[in-house]
Amino acid sequence: MNIYLLTDFGSTYTKMMAVDVDKGEIIAFAKAFTTIETDVTEGYNNALAGIKAQLGDFVPAASLACSSAAGGLKIVSSGLVPDLTAKASRLAAASAGGKVVKTYSYELTEFEIEEIATIQPDIVLLSGGIDGGNKKVLLQNAETLTKTKGNFFVIVAGNRSAASEARKMLEAGGKRVVVCENVMPAFGKLNIDPTKAAIRDLFIENIVSAKGLDKVATMMDMEIIPTPLAVFEACELLSKGTACERGLGELMAYDLGGATSDVYSMADGLSKSGAFISGIQEPFAKRTVEGDIGMRYSLHALYDLICEEGGLGDFDPAEVGLWLDTCKGSPDVLPQGEYEKFAQIDAALAAWAIRLSATRHAGQVERIFTPQGEVFSQTGKDLTRVEYIIGSGGAVINAPDPLTILQEAAYSPRDLNALKPHKPKILLDKENALAAMGLLARRQPDIALKIMKTSFLEI
Amino acid sequence: MEGQDKATLVIGVIGADVHAVGNKILNYTFTKAGFNVINLGVMASQTEFVEAAVEADADAILVSSLYGHGEIDVKGLREKCDEAGLNNILLYVGGNIVVGKQDFNEVEKRFLAMGINRAYPPGTDPMLAIKHLEEDLKA
């Protein structure tokens, strides 16, 4: 029997899955508290003991891991114009599996510098100016960053004519710098892969050890990658398939967590109704991460957004407030047992989380009347023909009625202009296997694909 | 600037205007004449012109309008450029920029008063704009 151990070091739990690669089945699952403060191998060994209690003793064929422990891969990104290079830098950081805490545009202000010092990012991504274009913003921000407190790396991915000068300034200021190709070398043209690679390399070579994961990293058969990157790769595999087996085609996935809501789309995003595209053309594989939409740590921020839209009409605000405070006090709480009466409220909040993050991820269409007749103008991706939506994350998979929650990811006349899927099939990642399958995909893509296709059930 | 001596132009058709042919001709002609051209295509908003010029550190914005609403579409563009820090950037406007048969001298005056550097009547040879660009950029 060939067993692969797939471990996800989360902020609270270390989750471990054992897969029999000969049979192509998930055979065991165990979790233990993450012990990042002391020694992360403790939590790992506890989870492993849980697996061995089910399977007996064995030597795994391979052990692979991803991590979002110790705050995840915190990135602050910046650019010049919000809809151009700033947006490109955010897309690059999100596709690399980063938790993009903030995205700034134009020259960094004193207030923003203080904010960066408080955020304590692992990486600051500096961009701005297309190649041959504006140099001033990159140089100005590089200079400002040298005065910013913090032990972060700086990736310079802006106007190439200003990049080496920016590097010199930052290095003279004691910052560790990586220069890579511009995230937007020509107007409207995205080039995020070099930045994605630079972030990945920094994570593997430096950030893993800074987060206290180096000891456990030596026990693995592959470098530890950020958990959202593993999910991203699982989605890509499930969509595109392998040489031997077809994928599902265009799809979206939602990973609703305690701190963030992550949305993935694997779709070309071109207009299906002949609209004119304005702004940058977004990539086939896109990830967005919403730091103000989450089910525990960001629940208050989410509720503020809901109130702006009119609030949770059917529920007593006092009860909602009580649940919000309970979640704030103990982020591990589940709406079960003594808290069962809050299950409906929790589900309603989750539905809003999906709706809001879906609307932000999807493109928008606007109807314009012209002397030549009616025309449509589209920004972002048209996802109306996407066939599958995959729901993942505790708040979704443990809900009594996940379908109602996930239907918020589909098109609705309430969000008339959002280009969300019209008639998607909705699949549930009941085993919460997305991240583990992304890990397995790096070694055994056919098996990872087979497991996903059989274990994600239509609801 | 790319290649240092190449000037950067932002071109496009402003407003809810979908006339695409002239825009393609201008793109071809300006590129051929040695400019670095950023073409926004049709239905470009003022904001798109300004943002593209900011990122590209452009030397001039050349606005086309073919459907008669040029005056209202271009109004405020100079102020937006000033606001975005594009001080003294060259602004040219051409096409069928107003409705009906109006005296072009009057039309030109109105556009110059809006802070546009040069306005062109229908049927202008692109070579004239190129000649003007060379003069104005030297100045």
Indicate the residue of A85, A371, A377 with minimum beta-carbon distance to B55. Answer: A85
Residue B42 near chain A (CB below 8 Å):
yes
The domains of chain A are located at: 1-60, 74-207, 236-458
Contact A371 B67 (CB under 8 A): yes
Contact A276 B17 (CB under 8 A): no
| Contacts for A68 with CB less than 8 Å, ≥ 6 apart | A8, A9, A10, A11, A99, A226, A227, A228
pLDDT at residue number B3:
45
Structure-token match 């990486």, residue found: A123
3-state helix, strand, coil in chain A (%, to 5): 40, 25, 35
Instruction: Name every chain A residue with its beta carbon within 8 A of the beta carbon of B53.
Output: none
* E strand map for A21-161: 25-33, 62-67, 74-79, 99-105, 123-126, 153-156
pLDDT of A11 strictly over 90: no
Contact B57 A83 (CB under 8 A): no
pLDDT band at B4 (very low <50, low <70, confident <90, very high): low
Residue B29 near chain A (CB below 8 Å):
no
Torsion of CA B63, A106, A283, A229, to 10 degrees: 180
- CATH classification for the domain delimited by A74-207, as one of 3.30.230.70, 3.40.190.10, 3.40.50.1580, 3.40.50.360: 3.40.50.360
Contact A132 B16 (CB under 8 A): no
Query: A374 to chain B: nearest residue by CA?
Result: B16
Instruction: Name every chain B residue with its beta carbon within 8 A of the beta carbon of A371.
Output: 16, 67-69
Query: How many A×B Cβ pairs under 8 Å?
Result: 65
Spacing of C-alpha A254 from chain mean position: 9
Contact A370 B16 (CB under 8 A): yes
A176 vs A152: CA distance, rounded Å: 7
∠ CA A241-A439-A265, rounded to 5°:
50
User: How much is the pTM?
Assistant: 0.90
pLDDT at residue number A1:
82
So what's the ipTM on this one?
0.81
Residue B36 near chain A (CB below 8 Å):
yes
Torsion of CA A83, A84, A89, A95, to 10 degrees: 70
Give the DSSP H or E segment for A356. Answer: helix A343-361
Indicate the residue of A130, A186, A377 with minimum beta-carbon distance to B43. Answer: A377
Indicate the residue of B2, B68, B69 with minimum beta-carbon distance to A131. Answer: B2
Q: Which amino acid is at A63?
A: S
A427 vs A435: CA distance, rounded Å: 16
Indicate the residue of B17, B55, B69 with minimum beta-carbon distance to A134. Answer: B55
Among residues A407, A420, A415, the alpha carbon closest in space to that of A363 is found at A420
Instruction: Judge whether A103 and A90 are in contact, CB under 8 Å.
Output: yes
Helix A434-443 to helix A227-240 angle (10° resolution) is: 70
A57 vs B31: CA distance, rounded Å: 70
Instruction: Name every chain B residue with its beta carbon within 8 A of the beta carbon of A83.
Output: 51
Chain A residues with CB within 8 Å of chain B CB: 80-81, 83-85, 128-135, 184, 186-187, 276, 278-279, 368-372, 375, 377
A204 vs A217: CA distance, rounded Å: 9
Mean pLDDT for the stretch of residues A443-453: 97
pLDDT single digits (tens) A78-97: 999 999 999 999 999 999 99
Instruction: Judge whether A38 and A53 are in contact, CB under 8 Å.
Output: no
Contact A132 B55 (CB under 8 A): no
Percent of chain A with pLDDT over 70: 100
A276 vs A283: CA distance, rounded Å: 17
pLDDT of B70 strictly over 70: yes
Residue B80 near chain A (CB below 8 Å):
no
Spacing of C-alpha A233 from chain mean position: 11
B66 vs A311: CA distance, rounded Å: 47
pLDDT band at A417 (very low <50, low <70, confident <90, very high): very high
A131 vs B86: CA distance, rounded Å: 18
Distance from CA of B60 to the nearest CA of A (A): 13
Contact A130 B51 (CB under 8 A): no
Which of B9, B55, B81 to mutate: most A Cβ within 10 Å?
A: B55
pLDDT at residue number A433:
96
Radius of gyration of chain A (CA): 22
pLDDT at residue number A347:
94
Indicate the residue of B3, B57, B69 with minimum beta-carbon distance to A134. Answer: B57
pLDDT of A102 strictly over 70: yes
Q: Which amino acid is at A192?
A: I
- Environment class of A356 (CB within 10 Å of its CB; exposed 0-12, middle 13-18, buried 19+): buried
Mean pLDDT for the stretch of residues A118-140: 95
Three-state DSSP at A140 gives: helix
A378 vs A276: CA distance, rounded Å: 6
Among residues A263, A246, A247, the alpha carbon closest in space to that of A255 is found at A263
* Beta bridge pairs of residue A100: A75
pLDDT band at A12 (very low <50, low <70, confident <90, very high): confident
A375 vs B16: CA distance, rounded Å: 8
Among residues A347, A227, A243, A240, the alpha carbon closest in space to that of A287 is found at A227
Indicate the residue of B18, B43, B51 with minimum beta-carbon distance to A81. Answer: B51
Query: B5 to chain A: nearest residue by CA?
Result: A132
- Give alpha helix (H) positions in A61-213: 85-95, 110-119, 136-146, 160-172, 193-202, 208-210
Among residues A228, A239, A254, A458, the alpha carbon closest in space to that of A356 is found at A254
pLDDT single digits (tens) A179-229: 999 999 998 899 999 999 999 999 999 999 888 898 999 999 999 999 999
The torsion angles phi and psi of B63, rounded to 5 degrees, stand at: -100, 130
pLDDT at residue number B2:
43
Instruction: Judge whether A84 and B51 are in contact, CB under 8 Å.
Output: yes
Query: A136 to chain B: nearest residue by CA?
Result: B57
Spacing of C-alpha A176 from chain mean position: 25
How many residues does the structure list for chain A?
459
pLDDT of B1 strictly over 90: no
pLDDT at residue number A181:
98
pLDDT single digits (tens) A305-342: 999 998 888 899 999 999 999 999 888 888 989 999 99
pLDDT at residue number A128:
95
Contact A132 B36 (CB under 8 A): yes
pLDDT single digits (tens) A264-318: 999 999 999 889 888 888 999 999 999 999 999 899 999 999 999 988 888 999 9
A273 vs A293: CA distance, rounded Å: 31
Lookup: tokens for A385: 């023909």
Contact B55 A184 (CB under 8 A): yes
A255 vs A434: CA distance, rounded Å: 9
Contact A130 B55 (CB under 8 A): yes
Three-state DSSP at A74 gives: strand
Catalytic residues of B: 17, 19
Query: A135 to chain B: nearest residue by CA?
Result: B57
Mean pLDDT for the stretch of residues A35-61: 94
Distance from CA of A129 to the nearest CA of B (A): 5
pLDDT at residue number A99:
94
Instruction: Name every chain B residue with its beta carbon within 8 A of the beta carbon of A129.
Output: 55-57
Surface of B (85-124) touching A: CB under 8 A: none
CATH placement of domain B8-138: 3.40.50.280
- CATH classification for the domain delimited by A1-60, as one of 3.20.20.80, 3.30.230.70, 3.30.420.40, 3.40.50.720: 3.30.420.40
Name the least confident of A154-163, A244-253, A286-295, B97-106: B97-106
Lookup: tokens for A139: 């140089």
Residue B68 near chain A (CB below 8 Å):
yes
Mean pLDDT for the stretch of residues B54-83: 94
- Environment class of A14 (CB within 10 Å of its CB; exposed 0-12, middle 13-18, buried 19+): buried
Contact B38 A129 (CB under 8 A): no
**CA dist list (Å): A411 to A205, A283, A362, A389:** 42, 21, 10, 12
3-state helix, strand, coil in chain B (%, to 5): 40, 20, 40
Instruction: Judge whether B42 and B20 are in contact, CB under 8 Å.
Output: yes
